[in-house]
Amino acid sequence: MKVKISRRATFNAAHRLHNKNWSEEKNKLFFGKCNNPHYHGHNYTLIVSVLGDINEDSGYVIDISYLKKIIEDKIIDYLDHKNLNLEIVEFQELNPTLENIIKVIYDKLKKELSNEFTLSIILYETENNFAEINETV
């Protein structure tokens, strides 16, 4: 039987949605207020879930303190109170959309987990707007 274990975390970050290959006018039309040249910010909520078998010895799927540590070390410390466009290497070329932010988070966390686990992530940018990556989809 597989069990899913989840951990929630929050971080704050600023960004500007902008395609360098488009004109300023096209960027303003397409991204609207999210293209503000002075940036804008969000209070993100991250939910990281790990699906796996219960270990017979420990009774755990994963040590939740380890999951907490990798989320804090690899994601929160990296993104919290940062300007994504200016301070995060992945977004020097990549537009920091919700979809691209969750992909960067996924790639960082996947490297820290054993292949025995299935990783899924939900990232809320606002109360109503969120993205999800699920390996099983």
Can you tell me the distance from the alpha carbon of 115 to that of 117, in angstroms, rounded to the nearest whole number? 5
- Global pTM? 0.95
Provide the annotated active-site residues: 34, 81, 125
Cβ distance 15 to 91 under 8 Å? yes
The pLDDT tens digits of the residues spanning 113-137 come to 999 999 999 999 999 999 999 986 4
The structural domain count of the chain equals: 1
CATH number for 67? 3.30.479.10
State which residues form the domain around 109: 2-134
Instruction: Quick: pLDDT tens for 38-87.
Output: 999 999 999 999 999 999 999 999 999 999 999 999 999 999 999 999 99
How far, in Å, CA of 125 to CA of 122, rounded?
10
